[in-house]
Amino acid sequence: MSAKKPASVNGLTKTQMEELRKELEKKRIELRRSISKRMNRDTELDPSEIIEELDQATAGQHQDVQLRILDKEVKLLREIERALAKFEKGEYGLCEGTLEPIGYARLKARPWARYSVTYKEELERQQREQSTMRPGR
């Protein structure tokens, strides 16, 4: 007779919580490695050392793309760190806007999610409305 333990305040079982924590920790390690490699690789190439203008332009574009990727990885790492800190506070899996459970399916797809799907859609709708109301747009 194995009774299933009730879900916690965030609607997740202990097994789901551990699975999501491990997923976040794994992603954190991957991102840290990638960021470190990208930073080391980017310092190796100095566009000013390239003589031909075309090569210089190509190197500059490549560096711009690498910096954008690096920026995205750093931002994602911050989100993952925030999610892992929520485990310590007992707040993981709760929507930051409503304090309602986010839902396992969403967290499985995006373990660092800060908002429930419903609340995130509402935020995006409000942002669209505000951007259409701004003059000059």
The one-digit pLDDT tens for each residue of the chain (137 residues) are: 444 444 577 889 999 999 999 999 999 999 999 999 988 875 555 555 555 666 667 777 878 888 899 999 999 999 999 999 999 999 999 999 999 999 999 999 999 999 999 999 999 999 999 888 766 65
Beta bridge partners of 56: none
Instruction: Say if CB 115 and CB 97 are below 8 A apart.
Output: yes
Cα separation, 103 vs 16, in Å, equals 11
Nearest to 86 by CA among 22, 30, 32, 21: 21
Domain ranges in the chain are 13-92, 94-137
